[in-house]
Amino acid sequence: MDYTYFYPTKIGEIVIRENGSGITHISTKACFVMDDSEVSETPLLKKAAQQIQEYLEGKRTAFDLPLSPEGTPFQKAAWEALLTIPYGETRSYKQMAEQVGNPKACRAIGMANNRNPIMIVVPCHRVIGADGKLVGYGGGLDMKRKLLEIEKGKL
């Protein structure tokens, strides 16, 4: 059974879902599609919400949560690579493509990031254009900017 719960945050309402063994989704309410999961707060969902709140307050730089994202092998490799980007740092799509062993896969990295089901914790917001510009983010560029500003201590 999957469980979903909604939490207010300073970046808007977020939705967190888990499958009994790990977090499967974290998104904004606006980007969330409800399914047949039960709306009920579990200890894992509560723990995830607490850690995200601490992150948004600038008090947490790493997460300690079991993750269970579903995706293709390439997407999972791309998401694993995202987890290696240190807090407060960014990488280009090209650097991420090189990290997963396919230097020409910049667009595929972008598509995998776009399908990242676990925003914030799997930090696709830390991937930027080669020229340093903010490009592409499922939660919108304003949200991406806010998350990066939190990590730089500016928000």
Q: Catalytic: which of 124, 128, 143, 148?
A: 124
106 is catalytic: no
For strand 3-7 and strand 91-92, is the pairing parallel, antiparallel, or unpaired?
Answer: unpaired
Catalytic residues: 124
